[in-house]
Amino acid sequence: KQEVTQIPAALSVPEGENLVLNCSFTDSAIYNLQWFRQDPGKGLTSLLLIQSSQREQTSGRLNASLDKSSGRSTLYIAASQPGDSATYLCAVILTGGGNKLTFGTGTQLKVEL
């Protein structure tokens, strides 16, 4: 059974700091990995999708990497801003798993002025 873990569970940083969020998964037979953010009481916003054949993806201040062999992905946020405050979730799709996402436990990020 695929298990996805995110560390840390919560993080508070001053504005402007670069930060790294971690995601680990137990089954390396993944099809892709997707990072989302969720604001309180809202739906999920897709940030980045990394296919299993890719090593990283970038979008603006965000960079996500994937290391299938070690079962890890990291989300790097450069020059953090208060608007980045949210819960960040990683999710994987197993090869042959259709569209079923298995979610991590999430990292709650607070960026302070």
Partner 1 sequence: KAGVTQTPRYLIKTRGQQVTLSCSPISGHRSVSWYQQTPGQGLQFLFEYFSETQRNKGNFPGRFSGRQFSNSRSEMNVSTLELGDSALYLCASSSGTLNNEQFFGPGTRLTVL
CA triple 17-49-97, angle to 5 deg:
135
Out of 18, 20, 42, 70, the residue judged to bind partner 1 by CB under 8 A: 42
Site string for partner 1, 69-108 (x = CB under 8 A): --------------------x-x-x---xxxxxxx-xx--
CA triple 67-70-72, angle to 5 deg:
55
Q: Is 59 in the site for partner 1 (CB under 8 A)?
A: no
> Residue 23 to residues 14, 15, 30: CA-CA distances in angstroms?
22, 23, 13
Min dist. Cβ of residue 76 to partner 1 (A): 20
Distance CA 8, CA 98 (A): 29
Q: Which is nearer to partner 1, 50 or 80 (CB)?
A: 50
Binding site residues, partner 1, CB under 8 A = 31-32, 34, 36, 41-46, 49, 51, 89, 91, 93, 97-103, 105-106
